[in-house]
Structure 1
Amino acid sequence: MGPVPATGTRRHTLTLPAPDGVAAAARLLVQGGLVAFPTETVYGLGADATNGAAVAAIYAAKGRPSFNPLIVHVPDIAALDGIATLGPEARALAAAFWPGPLTMVLPLAAQAPLSSLVTAGLQTVAVRIPGTELARDLLRAVGRPVAAPSANPSGRVSATRADHVLSGLSGRIDAVLDGGPCSVGVESTILRPDPSVLLREGGVPAEAIEAVLGRRLSRDTTPGRVQAPGQLASHYAPGARVRLNRAARAADGVMLGFGPVAGDLSLSAQGDLAEAAANLFALLIEADATARDRGLPHIDVAPIPDVGLGRAINDRLARAAAPRPDQA
């Protein structure tokens, strides 16, 4: 699978080792550049969320549909003042899970300084405080909200290492801040609070949110109804066709195992969902390269228990397996 074509000027992409590269990365962002940076979930492709031209460059670099909103990253809850309005449930969830892999879709504050491209025309904004000190150091150094979708061509597998970013976006962005592999490995959980509705499974299990709220969450994860990032039906897709819930290797596919189901690669030989989540995108990329090298059309994936982080993994796999126009 080659790079997805994108419009925009070709750029020389720097690799900035962390933590020394934080200051240089922040300068690039303030100047309107595009910088990929690691969070606990995946690498994000950052731009100054108040700069319309910079945000437009994200869409161009990723080849991203303009109707798909972006997540705004801030270093602390005080930085949301003037950007979003937090109700009682949002404040309780922020106290429990921020910093961390939870995104909340909140009412947009009056006169919020964000580019309208960030919200894709909605009257809400998706926000989070990332869980790694490195990401928060960068955000503090920038001093502005940073819009950051996953740092990969739109619809393709998310990046959990700097080399994944460069494979998909080298020449389209200004720099990648290399902070090593991401620890969680799947994107943040997204919900709309007050009252809370789950929009996307992710790094915070729904059960943990329900424990804070003291009630069951309602869910609206319908593919194609875009209220928040990551709700497109076809997403996270490698070049090979993905087949789910496969119990054994097949001659025409590369097998991703889990637990007792062996494979060419294993998400977690011990059946550990946290390990599987952390490995998911990196192994999808590796399986896709293996399938291409072997001339095989499929990636087969063992069954994943649909509980806790397993629901987030299965959500990403279902979107990876969804039909795409280029696979008709």
Structure 2
Amino acid sequence: MNRSPMEILPDTAEGHARAAQLLRGGGLVAFPTETVYGLGADACNDRAVARIFDAKGRPSFNPLIAHFAERDAVKRHVIWSDEAEALANAYWPGPLTMVLRKRADSPISKLVTAGLDTLAVRVPAHPTAKAVLAGFGGPVAAPSANRSGQISPTRASHVTSGLGDRVDAVINAGVCAVGIESTIIGLVEHPILLRPGGVTKDQLMQTLGAAIAVRKNAEAISAPGQLGSHYAPNAAVRLNATEWRAGELRLGFGDVACDLNLSEDEDLVEAAAHLFDHLHRLDARGGTVIAVSPIPHHGLGVAINDRLTRAAAPRD
């Protein structure tokens, strides 16, 4: 099948308008959020959403997140709640996704929800994402703009090298600030952390004033980002490396000699921002194993360790 070359759009009003035009025509457009680059399509267009699954090689049972320009638009598609209102007040726009019951009259494609009666929704904070979503004027389904299971993209160059002409356009807007995907919280029955991310569990509990359950890996997939093997480079990943072995590519944390360092100052925010980019850069060197220093398992470290554990999981 012959495809047109991917358009590289500038991060300007003209580039944002072209992205919205392509989305209205059923196209696929990669754009930055504060977390990672997303691969967007009109969430109400079955054919456009199906192109996301095809471009990524993504299993159809894995639901997508619907992105919106503002909160009131979200409320037209889901059953809103007091808990959702409290979390939206605290973290939207921002790196938090909420899973709520989908309204029966919502026109969002069942491919987005993978046939579930729930919908994952988010209002991103990145100015480019906000401009594209506002220009498009509707919900945009947007998983990370990479082949399924591989390292998530935090630069436009990661998208072009990973997806190429499977995508109609990418907006080149620099590096994503947070660097790991959004936190996902389920609010259908009781609050449950479905995926750790840029907003920590402790922050969510403080906002809600209540305990939050945590999804067990054995439970059925109910939100994006729950596959066992995910975010994986071509090289194998060895975790909690306190010493290096011959021939390994070394991803450090703290005061260690290594090939690339997530944060010499042991700053978890800096480490999260560097995680996927450093994995991309080490993987491009063509080694067989990437060894990673231990990462503290608190705060943002929980999300970093979640991504690293999935990157190191056995591949199908």
Secondary structure of the equivalent of 1:170? helix
Counterparts of residues 170-319 of structure 1 (less than 5 Å): 170-193=164-187, 195-222=190-217, 225-290=220-285, 292=286, 296-319=287-310
Q: TM-score, normalised by structure 1?
A: 0.94
CA deviation map 1:143-197 (0-9, x unaligned): 1100000000000000000000001011101000111100000000001125211
Structure 1 match to 2:138: 144
Runs (5+) with no aligned partner, structure 2: none
* Cα distance in structure 2, aligned partners of 1:128 and 1:11: 31
Secondary structure of the equivalent of 1:72? strand
Taking only the aligned residue pairs, the percentage that are identical comes to: 55
Structure 1 match to 2:9: 16
Deviation above 3 Å: which 4+ runs of structure 1? none
* Cα distance in structure 1, aligned partners of 2:164 and 2:125: 26
User: How far off is 1:218 after superposition?
Assistant: 0.9
Is residue 117 of structure 1 aligned with residue 116 of structure 2? no
User: How far off is 1:257 after superposition?
Assistant: 0.2
Is residue 320 of structure 1 aligned with residue 314 of structure 2? no
Work out whether residues 223 and 232 of structure 1, in 8 Å CA contact, stay in contact via their aligned partners in 2: no
Work out whether residues 197 and 220 of structure 1, in 8 Å CA contact, stay in contact via their aligned partners in 2: yes
* Cα distance in structure 2, aligned partners of 1:248 and 1:267: 16
Runs (5+) with no aligned partner, structure 1: 1-7
Work out whether residues 247 and 261 of structure 1, in 8 Å CA contact, stay in contact via their aligned partners in 2: no
What amino acid does structure 2 have at the position aligned with 1:312? A
Secondary structure of the equivalent of 1:36? strand
Q: Closer, same or farther in 2 for the Cα pair 1:16/1:223, shift >3 Å? A: farther
* Cα distance in structure 2, aligned partners of 1:266 and 1:223: 33
* Cα distance in structure 2, aligned partners of 1:81 and 1:214: 23
What amino acid does structure 2 have at the position aligned with 1:124? T
Secondary structure of the equivalent of 1:247? coil
* Cα distance in structure 2, aligned partners of 1:259 and 1:55: 42
CA RMSD of aligned residues (A): 1.2
Deviates more, 1:310-319 or 1:15-24: 15-24
CA deviation map 1:57-81 (0-9, x unaligned): 0000000000000000001111113
CA deviation map 1:20-77 (0-9, x unaligned): 3100000000110000000000000000000000000000000000000000000111
Q: Closer, same or farther in 2 for the Cα pair 1:323/1:224, shift >3 Å? A: farther
What amino acid does structure 1 have at the position aligned with 2:180? V
What amino acid does structure 2 have at the position aligned with 1:313? I
Q: Closer, same or farther in 2 for the Cα pair 1:99/1:221, shift >3 Å? A: farther
CA deviation map 1:124-159 (0-9, x unaligned): 000000011221111010011000000000000000
* Cα distance in structure 2, aligned partners of 1:280 and 1:163: 16
Secondary structure of the equivalent of 1:235? coil
Q: What is the count of residue pairs matched by the alignment?
A: 314
Secondary structure of the equivalent of 1:69? coil
Structure 2 match to 1:3: none
* Cα distance in structure 2, aligned partners of 1:162 and 1:127: 24
Q: Closer, same or farther in 2 for the Cα pair 1:225/1:261, shift >3 Å? A: farther
CA deviation map 1:205-257 (0-9, x unaligned): 11111111112211114166310000000000100000000012211310100
CA deviation map 1:236-293 (0-9, x unaligned): 0100000000012211310100012331110111110000000000000111112x1x
What amino acid does structure 2 have at the position aligned with 1:211? Q
Work out whether residues 82 and 110 of structure 1, in 8 Å CA contact, stay in contact via their aligned partners in 2: no
Q: Closer, same or farther in 2 for the Cα pair 1:24/1:213, shift >3 Å? A: same
What amino acid does structure 2 have at the position aligned with 1:16? L
* Cα distance in structure 2, aligned partners of 1:95 and 1:221: 28
* Cα distance in structure 1, aligned partners of 2:83 and 2:279: 36
Deviates more, 1:8-17 or 1:265-274: 8-17
